[in-house]
Amino acid sequence: MFRALHHFNLIVSDMEKTKAFYHGVLGLEIALETEIDDPEFSRGVGLPGTKVLATFFKLPGSNGLIETFQYLRPPGAPVPQNAKANDGGWQHLCFQVDDIGRTVQTLKGKGIQFLSTPVTISPQHPSLGGVSFCYFHGPDREVLEILQG
């Protein structure tokens, strides 16, 4: 039935800011940029008169894509300022890294502020022992994670 993950979608407020972050700061390759102003697309997303700017970012070592949409029509609501890690719905995107300490230092050098220093799950945990991770925000307050292990 399912073959692979093709993409996941992130709604953004400013495509130029999004490209500067995901391509410029995180180094993801831009696979495709387009504008979608099509009645069938509008019907598919259930929003009449939809017009979006779309940029697809290629994930390293994967065929999966991050699809970002900036809705020019109709406008949507931003991520709430009080959104927390335990709120319902999709909560974060995780990037696997080889060296979390080096990655944190590289991203800090590019202006990224982390929600905490990297944490490491107790080695005694039966399935996640020794895994290290930490969270940070993207340009629209979307939660991103880096993980080693």
Q: What is the pLDDT of residues 51-82, one digit of tens each?
A: 999 999 998 888 889 999 999 999 888 888 88
pLDDT of residue 23: 97
* CATH 3.30.1130.10 given to domain 7-73: no
Contact 9, 68 (CB under 8 A): yes
Contact 69, 57 (CB under 8 A): no
pLDDT of residue 78: 84
- What confidence category does residue 89 fall into, taking pLDDT thresholds of 50, 70 and 90? confident
**pLDDT tens digits, residue range 114-138?**
999 999 999 999 888 999 999 999 9
Contact 115, 136 (CB under 8 A): yes
Which DSSP category does 87 fall into?
S
pLDDT of residue 61: 87
Q: What is the mean pLDDT of the chain?
A: 91
pLDDT of residue 133: 93
CA 120 to chain centre: 22
Structural class in CATH, domain 92-148: alpha beta
* pLDDT higher than 90, residue 86: no
**pLDDT tens digits, residue range 12-36?**
999 999 999 999 999 999 999 999 9
In sequence order, the 6+-apart residues with CB closer than 8 A to the CB of 100 are 118, 132, 133, 134, 146, 147, 148
* Domain locations in the chain as residue ranges: 7-73, 92-148
pLDDT of residue 2: 67
pTM for this prediction: 0.86
Measured distance CA(59)–CA(66) in Å, rounded: 7
What is the torsional sign of CA 81, 70, 147, 88? positive
Instruction: Please check whether the two domains, 7-73 and 92-148, share a CATH topology.
Output: yes
pLDDT of residue 84: 84
pLDDT of residue 88: 80
Helix (H) or strand (E) holding 52: strand 51-58
